[in-house]
Structure formats: structure tokens, C-alpha cells
Amino acid sequence: MTRPGRLTFALGFVLLLVLHHTLRPLLAWRVEVDWQLIALVLLALRVRPGIAALTGFGLGLVMDAMVPAAFGAEALALTFVGYAGARFRTGFFGESVMVGTVIIGLGKVAADLAVLVAEGRLRGWSLVAQLGLWTPLSALLTAIVGAGVLQLARRDAPPPRRR
């Protein structure tokens, strides 16, 4: 990736994180877009798995700190999401928007599931509604927005060089 390309990419990454901490709470929709997850997968499709996992861990830790009841759960989930994103690219599919979108969707479900299991407080119908309705809808919305972002990023930045 060229230097201007890297700069654009870094700005895009930061912009997504800013959106996560400004636009998401402002909208406060029950079905939300997880901008942070999109940023992570965007990064994972360009860097090595270790870096992607470490970034996922850091981003998850920040969200965990806001709600310490399940401290470490989101960090764990996003570590796997970051690693999986980078591994799928390097091992199987290359930089594919489709794969990125699927990882974003599944990653959102995994992150929510990890938090709910670790917290263990949502039970009964509340848990069913969260896992059966709100989480899938949020995952779908995040994946749709993520697909757009990934497509945009692919157009703006050339794919990484292969060794």
C-alpha cells in the first residue's frame, strides 16, 4: 500500500471508531451498527493476523471498560474476529468483500453472545429476544453497512502485495 493509501486507510479507520463513540450513542437505536467491528474487519483484511487480533483485543477492552460486568468478554470475541478476518484472507479467500461482510455479521453475533454468556444476567424471554431478534438484526445491519465500507475501501486502496 502506498503512503497516501495508508494515510487514507488510517483516517478511515479512525473515522469509523469516532462514529462508534459518537453516532452510535446519539442514534441509540435498538438495532445498532457496530462501527468498531467494521473498522476491525477492515483492518484485518490488510494486516497480519497477530496485529488484527491485538487490535481486536484492545478495541474490545475499551468497550468492556464501559460495562465492566463482563470485563474481557468483548475483548475475547474481537480477538477471534480480528484473527479470523486476517486468517481467512491470507489462507483462503484473499481480500474479498463477501468474506469480510460475513465475518462482520458473524463477528457481531459472536461478540454479543460472548458478552451475554459472560454476564449471565439476561434470562428467559429477554435473552431469547436479544439473541433471536436484536442481535441478528444488528448483525445484519452492521454487515450491510460493513459491505459498503469494505467496497469503498477496496476502491480507494489497492490490495496488499502478495509475497
Partner 1 sequence: MRGAGEGTGTDRVIVGACVAAALVLLSLSPQRQDRAASAVRETVVAPLAALQVRARLVQRAVTTYDSLIRLADSTIRQAQTLPAVEGENAQLRALLGLGNALQWGFVPAEALPGRATGDAYTVVLSAGTRQGVAVLSPVVAAAGVVGLIAAVEETTSLALVWPHPDFRVSATARGGAGFGIVTTHEADGSEAFLLELRGVPFRDSLAIGTAVVSAGVGGVFPRGIPIGTVVGEISQGSAWSRTYLVQPAVHPAALSAVMILTPPRVAAGVDSVWKAP
Q: Contact with partner 1 (CB under 8 A): which of 39, 40, 42, 74? A: 74
The answer to whether 109 contacts partner 1 (rule: CB under 8 A) is: no
83 neighbors 56 (Cβ within 8 angstroms): yes
DSSP structure string for 110-146: HHHHHHHHHH----HHHHHHIIIIIHHHHHHHHHHHH
Stretch of residues binding partner 1 (CB under 8 A), selected from 66-74, 96-104, 147-155: 66-74
Count of residues interacting with partner 1 (CB under 8 A): 68
Does position 54 interact with partner 1 (CB under 8 A)? The reply is: yes
Residue number, 44 or 149, with CB nearest to partner 1 = 44
Return the residue of 8, 48, 93, 97 that touches partner 1, per CB under 8 A.
48
Can you state the angle between helices 3-27 and 35-44, rounded to 10 degrees? 160
Beta strands in the chain (DSSP E): none
Residue 115-154 contact track with partner 1, rule CB under 8 A, x = bound: xx-xx-xxxxxx---x---xx--x----------------
CB-CB contact of 38 with 81 (8 Å): no
Residues that bind partner 1 in the complex, under the rule CB under 8 A: 1, 6, 18, 21-26, 28, 30, 32, 46-51, 53-54, 56-57, 60-76, 79-80, 83, 86-87, 89-91, 94, 111-112, 115-116, 118-119, 121-126, 130, 134-135, 138, 160-163
